[in-house]
């Protein structure tokens, strides 16, 4: 399992992470980010990519 934490003070809801890891991140109908706080190993690379691509560098991944 991996654990995901988004610093919502930093997050600007651009949704770049949604494209990298669509099973974990989404923008809701109010354009706000929602995400799953944990995921299985198969999502590891996607979530890491999402963390890299985040303009605000708000996504942390714990393994």
- Judged by the rule CB under 8 A, the positions of this chain that interact with another protein are 12-16, 18-19, 27-29, 31, 48, 51-53, 55-57, 60-61
The distance of closest approach from Cβ of residue 27 to another protein in the complex, given in angstroms and rounded to an integer, is 4
In the complex, minimum distance from the CB of residue 10 to another protein, in angstroms, rounded to a whole number: 8
Paired tokens of 54: 């985040």
Kindly state the smallest distance separating residue 21's Cβ from another protein, in Å. Answer: 13
Euclidean distance between CA atoms 31 and 49, whole angstroms: 21
Q: Is the Cβ–Cβ distance between 63 and 5 less than 8 Å? A: no
Nearer to another protein by C-beta: 36 or 56?
56
Cα gap 8→37, rounded to integer Å: 13
């Amino acid at each position: 399992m991996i654990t995901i934490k988004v610093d919502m003070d930093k997050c600007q809801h651009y949704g770049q992470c949604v494209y990298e890891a669509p099973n974990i991140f989404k923008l809701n109908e109010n354009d706000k980010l929602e995400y799953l706080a944990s995921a299985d190993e198969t999502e590891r690379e996607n979530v890491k990519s999402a963390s890299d691509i985040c303009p605000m560098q708000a996504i942390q991944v714990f393994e």
